[in-house]
């Protein structure tokens, strides 16, 4: 699968990846699952993930639709875990910080994160 190297805003599935200068102090560290952070969930279990060894992920304290990534070492890849890829891998450069904006969808109870 092709890799897209980015230092500019780019989309992957239901999320927008935007370079930012820093992570807000109020953001809280996310929890990794099986060695990866799930950046965006998929209804079919084919999540968008980033390796815990190559990045740190934080959740916005006041917005469930926003997260942050800080890459470490040689940078990190956001991959769409699927047998056949519908989204190219996004390669984030070393020592960079990004905001992740997740798409929302309306349900009768209010809004929830969209899952592709």
Residue-range definition of the domain harbouring residue 32:
3-98
How sure is the predictor about 47, in pLDDT bands with cuts at 50, 70 and 90? Answer: confident
Provide the token pair at 91.
């390669």
Mean pLDDT of 7-29: 89
Q: What Å distances lie between residue 2 and 15, 90, 110, 111, CA to CA?
A: 18, 9, 37, 33
| Per-residue pLDDT reduced to its tens digit, 50-105 | 999 999 999 999 998 899 999 998 999 998 876 665 678 889 999 999 999 986 55
Query: What is the rounded distance in angstroms from the CA atom of residue 40 to the CA atom of residue 113?
Result: 8
How many structural domains are present in the chain? 1
Residue 38 domain-assigned (yes or no): yes
pLDDT at 30: 96
Residue 107 domain-assigned (yes or no): no
Closest CA to 11 of 107, 86, 112: 86
Query: What is the rounded distance in angstroms from the CA atom of residue 52 to the CA atom of residue 93?
Result: 15
Residue 65 domain-assigned (yes or no): yes
* Single pTM value for the model: 0.81
Q: What percentage of residues in the chain have a pLDDT greater than 90? A: 47
Mean pLDDT of 28-53: 86
């Amino acid at each position: 699968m092709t890799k897209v190297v980015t230092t500019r805003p780019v989309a992957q599935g239901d999320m927008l990846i935007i370079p930012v200068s820093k992570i807000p102090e109020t953001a809280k560290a996310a929890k990794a699952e099986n060695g990866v952070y799930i950046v965006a969930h998929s209804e079919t279990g084919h999540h968008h993930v980033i390796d815990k060894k190559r990045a740190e992920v934080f959740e916005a304290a006041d917005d469930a639709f926003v997260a942050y990534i800080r890459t470490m070492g040689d940078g990190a890849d956001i991959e769409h875990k699927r047998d056949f890829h519908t989204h190219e891998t996004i390669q984030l450069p070393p020592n960079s910080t990004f905001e992740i904006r997740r798409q929302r969808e309306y349900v009768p109870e209010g809004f929830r994160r969209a899952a592709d």
